[in-house]
Amino acid sequence: MTDATEMTLEEREATLGGIGCARKRKEDIRFIQGKGNYVDDIKLPGQVFGDFVRSPYAHARVKSIDTAAAKAVPGVLAVLTADDLKPLNLHWMPTLAGDTQAVLADEKVHFQNQEVAFVIGEDRYAVSDGIQAVEVDYEDLPVLVDPKQALAEDAPVLREDVEDKDNVGQGTRRHPNHIFTWDVGDKDAADQAFSGAAVTIKEEIFYQRVHPCPLEPCGCVASMDPVRGELTLYGTFQAPHVVRTVVSLIAGLPEHKIRVIAPDIGGGFGNKVGAYPGYVCATVGTIVLGRPVKWVEGRIDNLSTTAFARDYHMTGELAADSNGRIAAIRVHVLADHGAFNAHAQPSKWPAGLFSIVTGSYDIPSAHIAVDGVYTNKAPGGVAYRCSFRVTEASYLIERMVDVLAQKVGLDKAEIRLRNFVTPEQFPYTSCLDWEYDSGDYPTALNKVLEAVDYKGLLEEQAEKRKRGELMGIGLATFTEIVGAGPSRNCDILGIGMFDSCEIRIHPTGSAIARLGTKSQGQGHETTYAQILATELGIPSDDITVEEGDTDTAPYGLGTYGSRSTPVAGAAAAQAARKIKAKAQKIAAHMLEVGEKDLEWEVDRFKVKGLPEKAATMKEIAFAAYQNLPEGLEPGLEAVNYYDPPNFTYPFGAYLCVVDVDRLTGEVKVRRFYALDDCGTRINPMVIEGQVHGGLTEAFAIAMGQELTFDETGNIQGASFMDYFLPTAVETPVWETDFTVTPSPHHPIGAKGVGESPNVGGVSAFSNAVVDAFAHLGVSHMPMPHTPWRVWKQCQALGIGE
Amino acid sequence: MIPGAFEYHRPTSVDEAIALMSRHGDEGRVIAGGHSLIPMMKLRLAEPGHLIDLRDLVSLKGIRPAGRCIEIGAMTTQQEVVASELLAEACPILREAALLIADPQVRYCGTLGGNVANGDPGNDMPAVMQCLDASFVLRGPKGEREVPARDFYEAAYFTARAEDELLTAVSLPIPPAGHGYAYEKLKRKVGDYATAAAAVVLTMSGGSCESASIALTNVGQTPLFAEAAGQALVGTKVDEAAVARAVEAAKDIAEPVADMRGPEEYRTHVTGVMVRRAVERALARAQA
């Protein structure tokens, strides 16, 4: 019954294009031909456009808005203000963090470029003319851009709307500009360890405000069918199902009447997780006008108003013995959340997974406190290519381990080896209660040290230092925590953070799989098909992967926090296994043997002991529609909703070598060696691409990205003139490597990799820059390490001239 | 990022262009490559009622020898400057500087005339033109005149060009054979304006500096011709003491503003570093 081909086992495996093969990305065929379909490519009949009047002030009272002249502009159809949204109760919207956010400024503006009115018109030109014609009378108010000043006793109250509330969703407040305090760990134990410690260090470490800055900005097309009463919302959504639920909850439309479609997305990096006023206003617009309304923001809008990342003012302390063995860590964070608490974290975690701050090290006790604060800046606080607040945590511990090494006079590789969680300790429970699934940190670090000839680099550095040259070697041995997450402790708006996969096998043996995640460039159409190919014995080329349409895809929580492979990838494997179980029944019927007499081999079930008697998955698929055992229903489909038992913990060891020009402050990255362990590797080429992208963004963050504000709250550098997006010219050459430590609880042992390089990369760059000055007594330098900042350090040391 | 309404004109002769400019006065703006004007229009910082597109003025294209000078038509693109064998041979600093402007895509559209006429202190070619002592040919309703690059710039976006004059060409004296040259530009990334940049052309004779010319980009309201800095080198062996004097003289006239590239102090300091490095490279290239 087998097919006539004479392929060997290896050839059959190769034909599948399954797990471990470096097949080319299926989605690239359309992308490189310019045939992608992004939100701004969507053109519906009768479509109109909308855009915002934005506030030039960071803090002001809106005394009046005159829309008459704007409404008289030819082509302008409507102008919405907060007063127009009030009757619908849509002038404010709930945030993912329990707070509310103004959709259109209601009596006050709280940050520069905040949305004040929404102009809808026949084309973008009419809208733009209309925006200019709206007259807003502002009365400016004192501005707060420094979170420390925001907590001063006499500080102006920013959020008058919640002035009387002692809780805005994430804990008790102690000041009108205070949002929450999040306190974890054993303070007494940590304090005790500090009081008896031989060595302690303390460092103020600021992780600047940055922005994920996807190449495609945010946008949507809202289209109400007034006859059917159905709303279709196309948008740049990393989590389309969550958007559908949110729209249903806030707009009061039944969820089955809402269809959310995320078409191709040009990068997300966390920026496209949340809900923005544009989505609400376009939706109101289409309901009011009965015509589709498109809103697509510009670059300045994207950088200055949609979700930023970091802005964490951290104070870190380590206590250690004289051998550099860490006894305790204490951290305090002043977290600048901007004008509304709209960061995207699982509901129960006001600082995300920041308590992964013990990193790769076996630290007996820890205490962390995070205070969230309002300022006159745009809201947000997303994970920019990292799991929730993990980059902040990892940057802090990796910097502090270096500071400690310096203090006790230990080599930075040696201090890491002395403090690592050892391979024998896995599964390892940290003192802050995370259960690390698997890891082998010393092997990873030693492999890197050998590959780069670490000893040789240290000798070269010593020589250069004698000559007055500045060379830095940076290490980062990070642990990520990804795959949010187990529903017992992870939810978004009360919905557990599971994910899903539905598979249909067609009679001729090809298949379609739909998942609850949404690729923004990660290559899901390629890699999910590989998981399914290996699990099902169907070539990955014969499997279509679809995501992003809530009418067809099973409910899922979307793609961010490196959760697609750990959660939806697991759902794919589990759904495939359900199909395989049914296939085994059909095969037994076809081959007239008992189910237990069969064994699986690559793409077929074989009768044990009779290798020539077998049924391929292709044959079984056809039989599923015409030749079934009695009592078995036809078809070959399955769906799985996967609630992960635990997070996964990818890790890596990175080494960076830099040379510093002390006269210009320019830092040249001479070498970057990145070893990643993401467990089972699904597609090495896709992994390498992810690592290259993550390292490039880490390089951008460490070396140049920042959004700053002047004292009146004017945002600085919010365009590509200043905001640092490195080109191929600035980007260093990446050397990549790997070890494989599978996750014991994941169906295929995979852990997720997209964000690891950003988590580990930032600290590796920063550590390298600081190390270039370490012999001169420097223990920390603020990011980003732009030429002028580095030169200021040179100048302070008297070596800048 | 949507411009306001405007009338679009596409003259086919210089005279027609000048007539349009005269007719529309400050309501009209000429557009060459558009890399400065279009972003300004999209931000509505510029809202010209009439846009006069120069792309059909073929007579304003081309690089040709003209006696002891080279004349470059205003509509010559930066890419054409880069590709010109004549310039590579006679005045190679132009290729070196043009290659530091933006990226290839921009250089295929951006023109030399637009770069020098706009008066943006961030543009690179104005300082190079001052360094070379080039002149700009301006044509208006009353005829043609030449203004030296060193006298052309008055303040940011303000130049000696009258509203109804068109900058039609750049005329540059061919530097002596064997001259040394360098354009040193510190920037944060490809496409960025200079944090500071310095153009240097010098000639050496018998181990001694015969002439030296230095100009600076983006460290003031206008490009800066650093006359004293150049003079500090003339008659010396361009030794350490002379270079140090040139560097100080250049820093003395630099008046950068603080921006995301760095505070004033830093930008002044790196002006000196750029001058030093440009002088060193120019010296290495000069024939004794």
Q: Of the listed A238, A406, A530, A574, which one is catalytic?
A: A238
**Dihedral sign of CA atoms A340, A341, A345, A348 in order:** negative
Mean per-residue pLDDT, B166-182: 97
Distance CA A190, CA A449 (A): 33
Distance CA A784, CA A793 (A): 13
Residue A162 domain-assigned (yes or no): no
pLDDT of A123-146, one tens digit each? 999 999 999 999 999 999 999 999
Q: What does the pLDDT read at residue A251? A: 86
- How far apart, in Å, are the Cα atoms of B104 and each of A1, A33, A732, B109? 61, 21, 20, 9
- A717 and B CB contact within 8 Å: yes
Q: Could you tell me if A475 and A597 lie in one domain?
A: no
Q: What does the pLDDT read at residue B72? A: 98
Q: Which of B1, B3, B266 sits opposite A788 (nearest CB)?
A: B266
pLDDT of A398-413, one tens digit each? 999 999 999 999 999 9
Q: Which of B5, B186, B189 sits opposite A664 (nearest CB)?
A: B186
Bridge-based pairing of strands B7-9 and B50-53 is parallel
Q: How far is A281 from chain B (nearest CA, A)?
A: 19
Q: Are B110 and B123 in contact (CB under 8 A)?
A: no
Helix (H, G, I), strand (E, B) or coil at A125: helix
- A299 and B CB contact within 8 Å: yes
Residue A522 domain-assigned (yes or no): yes
Closest to A58 (Cα-Cα) out of A111, A127, A100, A98: A111
Confidence of residue A437 (pLDDT cuts 50, 70, 90): very high
Q: Which two tokens stand for residue A641?
A: 């909703």
- A552 and B CB contact within 8 Å: no
CATH code of A287's domain: 3.90.1170.50
Whether B190 sits inside 8 A of A717 (CB atoms) is: no
Q: Could you tell me if A712 and A665 lie in one domain?
A: yes
Closest to A273 (Cα-Cα) out of A560, A635, A643, A485: A560
pLDDT of A160-199, one tens digit each? 999 999 999 899 999 999 999 999 999 999 999 999 999 9
Q: Could you tell me if A31 and A46 lie in one domain?
A: no
Angle between helix B264-285 and B240-253 (nearest 10): 140
- Give me the residues paired with residue A478 across strands: A652
Domain C-terminal end among A616, A642, A668: A642
Please give the mean pLDDT across all residues of chain A. Answer: 96
Residue A404 domain-assigned (yes or no): yes
Closest to A479 (Cα-Cα) out of A355, A613, A329: A355
Q: Could you tell me if A673 and A633 lie in one domain?
A: no
Whether B195 sits inside 8 A of A787 (CB atoms) is: yes
Give the containing element (helix H, strand E) for B78.
helix B78-83
Domain that holds residue A637: 9-36+499-642
Residue A85 domain-assigned (yes or no): yes
| Partners of residue A717 in chain B, C-beta under 8 Å | 260
pLDDT exceeds cutoff 60 at A4: no
Whether B273 sits inside 8 A of A664 (CB atoms) is: yes
Confidence of residue A5 (pLDDT cuts 50, 70, 90): low
Q: What does the pLDDT read at residue A11? A: 95
Residue A679 backbone zone (phi > 0: left; psi -120 to 50: alpha; other: beta): left
Q: Are B169 and B76 in contact (CB under 8 A)?
A: no
Which of A127, A707, A722, A788 should be substituted to probe chain B, the one whose Cβ sees the most B Cβ atoms within 10 Å? A788
Note if A386 is an active site residue.
yes
| CB neighbour class for B206 (10 Å; exposed up to 12, middle 13-18, buried from 19) | exposed
Q: Could you tell me if A520 and A567 lie in one domain?
A: yes
Bridge-based pairing of strands B63-66 and B69-73 is antiparallel
Q: Could you tell me if A785 and A739 lie in one domain?
A: yes
Closest to A15 (Cα-Cα) out of A513, A541, A572, A527: A541
Q: Could you tell me if A19 and A74 lie in one domain?
A: no
Confidence of residue A493 (pLDDT cuts 50, 70, 90): confident
Distance CA A436, CA A428 (A): 5
CATH code of A475's domain: 3.30.365.10
Mean per-residue pLDDT, A479-497: 91
Q: What does the pLDDT read at residue A707? A: 97
Helices (H), A654-729: 684-703
Distance CA B5, CA A129 (A): 9
CATH of domain B64-173: 3.30.465.10
Q: Could you give phi then psi for residue B214, rounded to 5 degrees? A: -135, 135
Residue A304 domain-assigned (yes or no): no
- B186 and A CB contact within 8 Å: yes
**Dihedral sign of CA atoms A141, A142, A144, A149 in order:** negative
Distance CA A787, CA B183 (A): 20
pLDDT of A301-342, one tens digit each? 999 999 999 999 999 999 999 999 999 999 999 999 999 999
Residue A446 neighbours by CB under 8 Å, 6+ apart: none
Q: What's the DSSP call for residue B182?
A: E
Q: Could you tell me if A134 and A27 lie in one domain?
A: no
ipTM: 0.97
CATH architecture entry for B180-285: 2-Layer Sandwich (3.30)
- The total of structural domains in chain A comes to 3
Q: Which two tokens stand for residue A51?
A: 């855009």
Q: Are B178 and B287 in contact (CB under 8 A)?
A: yes
Q: Could you tell me if A517 and A616 lie in one domain?
A: yes
Note if A385 is an active site residue.
yes
Helix (H, G, I), strand (E, B) or coil at A764: helix
pLDDT of A55-95, one tens digit each? 999 999 999 999 999 999 999 999 999 999 999 999 999 99
Torsion of CA B89, B91, B94, B95, to 10 degrees: 10
Q: Which two tokens stand for residue A48?
A: 């109109």
Confidence of residue A3 (pLDDT cuts 50, 70, 90): low
pLDDT exceeds cutoff 90 at A2: no
Distance CA A341, CA A335 (A): 11
Instruction: Give me the residue spans of the domains in chain B.
Output: 7-53, 64-173, 180-285
- A465 and B CB contact within 8 Å: no
- A664 and B CB contact within 8 Å: yes
| Partners of residue A716 in chain B, C-beta under 8 Å | 260
Please give the mean pLDDT across all residues of chain B. Answer: 97
Residue A224 neighbours by CB under 8 Å, 6+ apart: A230, A231, A283, A286, A287, A290, A292
The distance of Cα A620 from the centroid of its chain, to the nearest Å, equals 40
Q: Are A264 and A36 in contact (CB under 8 A)?
A: yes
- A719 and B CB contact within 8 Å: no
CATH of domain B7-53: 3.30.43.10
Residue A381 domain-assigned (yes or no): no
Whether A128 sits inside 8 A of B262 (CB atoms) is: no
Q: Could you tell me if A622 and A634 lie in one domain?
A: yes
Domain C-terminal end among A627, A642, A657: A642
Mean per-residue pLDDT, A32-37: 96
Residue A201 domain-assigned (yes or no): no
Q: Are A258 and A286 in contact (CB under 8 A)?
A: no
pLDDT above 90 covers a percentage of chain A that reads 95
Q: What does the pLDDT read at residue A481? A: 96
pLDDT of A547-590, one tens digit each? 999 999 999 999 998 999 999 999 999 999 999 999 999 999 99
Bridge-based pairing of strands B69-73 and B135-140 is unpaired
Give the containing element (helix H, strand E) for A232.
strand A230-235
Q: Could you tell me if A715 and A745 lie in one domain?
A: yes
Q: Centre a 10 Å sphere on the Cβ of residue B233 and count the other Cβ atoms it contains.
A: 28
Q: What does the pLDDT read at residue A1? A: 47
Residue A148 domain-assigned (yes or no): no
Q: Please report, as a single letter, which amino acid is at residue A14.
A: A
Domain C-terminal end among A607, A642, A677: A642
Q: Could you tell me if A637 and A676 lie in one domain?
A: no
Q: Are B117 and B74 in contact (CB under 8 A)?
A: yes
| Partners of residue A304 in chain B, C-beta under 8 Å | none
